[in-house]
Amino acid sequence: MELRSQEMRKIAPELDPLRIGTGWRPEDLSKPQVMIESTYGDSHPGSGHLNILVEEVRKGIEEAGGYGARYYCTDICDGESQGTDGINYSLASREMIANMIEIHANATPFDAGVYLASCDKGMPGNLMGLSRVDIPSVVVPGGTMNAGPDMLTLEQLGMYSARYQRGEIDEKTLEWAKCNACPSCGACSFIGTASTMQIMAEALGLALPGSALMPATSPDLLAFAREAGKQAVKLASMPHMCPSDIVTMDSFENAILVHAAVSGSTNCLLHIPAIAHEFDIEITGDTFDRLHRNARYLLDVRPAGRWPAECFYYAGGVPAIMEEIRDHLHLDVMTVTGKTLGENLDELRRSGFYERCQKWLQEFNQRYRVSLSKEDIIRPYENAIGTDGSIAVLRGNLAPEGAVIKHTACPKEMFKAVLRARPFDSEEECLDAVLKHKVRKGDAVFIRHSASFWSLVADKCRRCSIPPRRSAATRSLGRVSR
């Protein structure tokens, strides 16, 4: 099987000299050529460290006899832009990242790709992009940041800010929280959109087993990055190992069951349908609703649970979740290892993976003077936190086309309630009322003039001068909770 890159060399005589001018050695030109795409940049902690991982990937590629070329398209930070007009660029940036990956790969063909990202739009943008390119691919999730002192994590900062604005804490306490909420690189240390999408990449079979949502400062992540480079070279010469050969409806069903078990972000309902659309697979809110019903919710990690996200890896990560729900998964799906999901899980049991995770958990316990066990973080199936997944799609006169709720973050007494309607004409009006205690117990908050989800997407695209493309992700799904 002649490599794609070598075919291009025959018809593009300028290609070799231009690559030599870029730093390639003449002997590199005939090697398997691997595109390394990352969202590296100084945009936020989730991307600021990725070039370290990129270099590990390059080493792995070289050790396996290939050559790695670095390409970049950094992402923005939703956390930095939320509450401002900058957030209007957020969802559009996902499309731009996917577009640039498609452009990079198709302008100069490669034999395989490695994709590195950590956060809200970077990871789904990379998953969409790699599906369009459809060359043998491995995803390297960028990991999660460490917790701060007293296990402080960023999602708690809103509480500190609100308490300061209400006069309940002084400015010094607020500044302490700001200076300690993000003590390292990596995605924010809770199961928000960034963490969820890293988990989804592995659950779909596109990342190496056990590599999702590791602590970004862990030496284990460097080893996974190097192994991903080696695996990409191996996949380049294997037939039928492109993303379209690996990812199926069964893969998505596995991912959604994992989403239920970890109480994943509701934003996943924007991203998974869009990724599936690139594979010509239809996923809707109803797919999530069907699979979450009777599914086990197992992960006791913030914001719905008690512990920071770095504990996820210490308890065994995605493989440990999959072991608990193993009887409900499609174990015969293919993955980037060249083996099935079931084979991967069996191999991890034999490899000492869980024993290594346990050692890291012991170190965490010493650091914070706690005594957590694996079962404190990932509950056994028979002792689940919940037995009906973590989200539901609701329908009624307020949302005839559907509204998403994360019921694991909703007090049970609110499941059925008669409330007073408190409508606002803007998010700013609503926030001001909340901070000034004008919204009281028994009120139901409605923000008018936000229109349907599609209208919001179209508005974001208009502001960025991007023609909106209606896809499986742009359905009229309201968001009841984050």
Q: In sequence order, what DSSP letters do the residues of 208-267 get, joined into one string? A: -TT-TT-BTT-HHHHHHHHHHHHHHHHHHTSTT-SHHHH--HHHHHHHHHHHHHHT--TT
- Do the beta carbons of residue 478 and residue 402 sit within 8 Å? yes
Written as six digits, the tokens of 55 are 């270099």
- pLDDT for 347 equals 98
Query: Domains along the chain?
Result: 31-147+183-383 (3.40.50.2300), 408-470 (no CATH)
Q: For residue 21, count other CB atoms closer than 10 A to its CB.
A: 8
- pLDDT for 467 equals 37
- pLDDT for 128 equals 98
3-state secondary structure 394-431: EEECCEEEEEEEEHHHCCHHHCCCCCEEEEECCHHHHH
- pLDDT for 125 equals 98
Full pLDDT tens readout for the chain, 482 residues: 789 999 999 999 999 999 999 999 999 999 999 999 999 999 999 999 999 999 999 999 999 999 999 999 999 999 999 878 899 899 999 999 999 999 999 999 899 999 999 999 999 999 999 999 999 999 999 999 999 999 999 999 989 998 999 899 999 999 999 999 999 999 999 999 999 999 999 999 999 999 999 999 999 999 999 999 999 999 999 999 999 999 999 999 999 999 999 999 999 999 999 999 999 999 999 999 999 999 999 999 999 999 999 999 999 999 999 999 999 999 999 999 999 999 999 999 999 999 999 999 999 999 999 999 999 999 999 999 999 999 999 999 888 888 999 998 888 888 888 999 999 998 889 989 988 889 998 999 988 876 443 333 333 333 333 333 333 433 333 333 33
